[in-house]
Structure 1
């Protein structure tokens, strides 16, 4: 990551839009912009921590309302919301904080919500090998609320269901009900 080049590009971008950075309050804006986007595009490292499912736990594990923040890849404007991530354990269970870390990992890049939802679910399916995975993301896209149609207050909901959470109606219903999506 080249923050100096990003700052110069941000300054040129603002200048091209007719925004002067000559005032005291705007002088540091190109640097702040560069650092802000660098932060948005930099996930924290994490190690996947799994444990043997010694008790044979076979019920749903669900983390609700995990914060999501990403940047729309079409406009580079933020979208924010919550993710509900669950799985039906197989041979291993997951350290619960890792569900939030996986969400953060895939959200820290220019993204579309549909792909983000699928990436989280598929990553968990591949690395955990559970009997089922469910991911629902509800987010407000500022590219839709602040510009264009200006649909203030609107949210977009996406879901990916794998394994039993996709194919077994009772498991799917339980996941969607506990996640608060099926009202």
Structure 2
């Protein structure tokens, strides 16, 4: 059935739910995991986009600002890679064969591309539970993946709440 499970991880609170469910599912199915993290300027811990300075009518990116941005991005990239290694070690310690990859780009597109190239039988992705304008403007990686994935998709829901940072856990399956 499912022998190769791609697990999309980010820095949201949903990542722990997603990783725990992925490890549990892989153990039950005797499947291997591919942990994927996509570096994005819009990620929670990202240094964002480079700051432009205005020396004239047109904005420019001076060398000092660019060098500062590059250093911050490299620190972010290395920190994310270290965290990805830890997650892979956590899965391996529980007897699950695990690979990992990190790349930059649009998260939804990259996840679908990696799933097709690996090739995955199932994608496990988190969903923060954004609604309305928040979902409209911030987008939904899980929604994109559900509609463009080359395989089945399992969405681990993590409801956004004001009162508690802990997430309620439910799962939704979407066939390929």
**Normalised TM-score (structure 1):** 0.30
Between Structure 1 and Structure 2, whose CA radius of gyration is higher? 1
Higher relative contact order (CA 8 A, sep 6+): 2
